[in-house]
């Protein structure tokens, strides 16, 4: 018996009674279903879980930071090398239009800090429920507990899916099955497997927007301490271009580091860890001051406050526990007087402040990853429509594609924009 044989469906295929099949009831799938049915398409949504939008409910700690206030050009630029590919979707449904879209569904939004945009009641459930209600008003059909087992492509025939043992067919399929993040909420490789069945290549998935685990134990002694502004630079020339760095807030954890700046660079680190045992990174603890600025400050302090301990001076600039770590790594005794600092010793201390090394040995995995890096390779997808270049009628949306953005509403905006674009030309 062939162990790799696909399970046979319980029923034979029947003539299509739907125009569009949407795989996945996450943010991309829900907006795709609503957009398609508003355009007159008969839509069936297949969802493996018992409810729609399980991961959407968890976004932003349940508050749902679904976009931000950046202008469209700058918003697109933040996707880096993927900017050209995401441009058509992010122009088809901009952040302003997305906010208006939710306003029309009865979900007003606000930006408490002038950047992050959330529903006014700061509830992800409001967003999910509004999308579901709008879909039901448009008579979208939902089938829950319906994992899709396979995708069938035959010349001159409708596309077919086998879901929960039943064959369903349509002329158009939107694959919005998500990525591998949050497996407890339905994340996995099902979307990637279906894309492979259609002949698409998959960039190997890895966790992104995920805390990092360090080889060093000293970050654990600082667990809970946040630095409002730190730069992290990758020190792996073969895997990252020169100047590949991020700046933002950093949080020390029991296992290593987290916080927005860490999350933003974590996908690149995770990708490098697929071939390396450890990845070297450098922390600039005070990125707004150059090494020359530090040399001038230290020299001024040495001349005018020579009797003061180096540790006491550092503790005025950094959290006291971090100052002790920096001195220990220099290494310098905390009671050393400023007057005792030589030029060489000062240089070593400044290097620890501006280039504090850490070796990352892993991430906290897909269980803690907010998004997936990797997925359907973009070369095989038309960016202007998100239709497959290999299989006419097959479209992709959201995290199943090899697109991931930084923290701050970029990934949810991409999910909504891509779902909209994939469905708006039924």
- CB atoms < 10 A from the CB of 97, how many? 15
What was the pLDDT predicted at 6?
46
Structure tokens at 277: 């045992």
Q: Which parts of the chain sit beneath pLDDT 50? A: 1-7, 11-13, 242
What was the pLDDT predicted at 426?
64
Task: Dump pLDDT digits (tens) for 202-233.
Answer: 999 999 999 999 999 999 999 999 999 999 99
Fill in the DSSP letter of residue 338: G
Q: What are phi and psi of 36, to 5 degrees?
A: -65, -45
Q: Is the dihedral of CA 297, 298, 299, 302 positive or negative?
A: positive
Fill in the DSSP letter of residue 40: T
Within the chain, all domains assigned CATH 2.40.30.10 are found at 208-287+358-363
- Asked whether 420 and 383 are in contact (CB, 8 A), the reply is no
What was the pLDDT predicted at 9?
52
Task: Dump pLDDT digits (tens) for 236-287.
Answer: 866 555 457 899 999 999 999 999 999 999 999 999 999 999 999 999 999 9
Domain 208-287+358-363 has CATH 2.40.30.10: yes
What was the pLDDT predicted at 12?
47
Within the chain, all domains assigned CATH 3.50.50.60 are found at 20-206+372-423
Structure tokens at 186: 């339905």
Within the chain, all domains assigned CATH 1.10.8 are found at 291-346
DSSP SS3 for 108: coil
One CATH from 1.25.40, 1.10.8, 2.20.110, 3.40.1710 for 291-346: 1.10.8
- Asked whether 125 and 133 are in contact (CB, 8 A), the reply is no
Topology of the domain comprising 20-206+372-423: FAD/NAD(P)-binding domain (3.50.50)
What was the pLDDT predicted at 242?
45
DSSP SS3 for 364: coil
What was the pLDDT predicted at 338?
84
């Amino acid at each position: 018996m062939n162990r790799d044989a696909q399970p046979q469906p319980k029923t034979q295929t029947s003539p299509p009674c739907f125009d569009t099949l949407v795989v996945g009831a996450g943010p991309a799938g829900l907006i795709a279903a609503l957009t398609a049915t508003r355009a007159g398409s008969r839509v069936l949504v297949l969802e493996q879980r018992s409810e729609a939008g399980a991961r959407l409910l968890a976004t932003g700690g349940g508050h749902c930071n679904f976009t931000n206030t950046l202008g469209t050009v700058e918003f697109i630029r933040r996707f880096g090398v993927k900017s050209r590919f995401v441009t058509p979707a992010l122009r088809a449904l901009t952040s302003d239009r997305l906010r208006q879209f939710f306003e029309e569904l009865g979900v007003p939004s606000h930006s408490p800090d002038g950047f992050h945009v959330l529903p006014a009641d700061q509830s992800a459930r409001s967003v999910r429920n509004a999308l579901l209600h709008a879909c039901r008003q448009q008579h979208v059909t939902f089938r829950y507990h319906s994992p899709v087992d396979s995708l069938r492509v035959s010349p001159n025939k409708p596309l077919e899916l086998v879901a929960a043992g039943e064959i369903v067919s349509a002329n158009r399929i939107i694959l919005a099955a998500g990525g591998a993040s949050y497996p407890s909420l339905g994340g996995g490789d099902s979307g990637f497997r279906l894309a492979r069945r259609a002949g698409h290549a998959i960039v190997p998935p890895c966790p992104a927007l995920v805390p990092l685990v360090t080889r060093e134990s000293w970050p654990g002694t600082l667990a809970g301490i946040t630095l409002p502004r730190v730069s992290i630079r990758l020190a792996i020339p073969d895997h990252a271009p020169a100047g590949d760095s991020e700046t933002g807030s950093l949080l020390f954890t029991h296992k290593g580091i987290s916080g927005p700046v860490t999350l933003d660079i974590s996908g690149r680190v995770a990708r490098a860890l697929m071939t390396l045992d450890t990845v070297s990174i450098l922390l600039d603890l005070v990125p707004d001051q150059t090494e020359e600025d530090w040399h001038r400050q230290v020299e001024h302090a040495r001349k005018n406050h020579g009797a003061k301990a180096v540790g006491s001076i550092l503790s005025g600039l950094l959290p006291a526990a971090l100052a002790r770590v920096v001195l220990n790594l220099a290494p310098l005794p905390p009671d050393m007087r400023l007057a005792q600092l030589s030029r060489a010793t000062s240089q070593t201390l400044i290097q620890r402040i501006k280039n504090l090394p850490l070796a990352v040995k892993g991430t906290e995995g897909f269980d803690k990853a907010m998004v997936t890096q990797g997925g359907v390779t973009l070369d095989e997808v038309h960016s202007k429509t998100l239709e497959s270049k290999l299989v006419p009628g097959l479209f992709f949306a959201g995290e199943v594609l090899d697109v991931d953005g930084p923290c701050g509403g970029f990934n949810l905006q991409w999910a909504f924009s891509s779902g909209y674009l994939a469905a708006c030309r039924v």
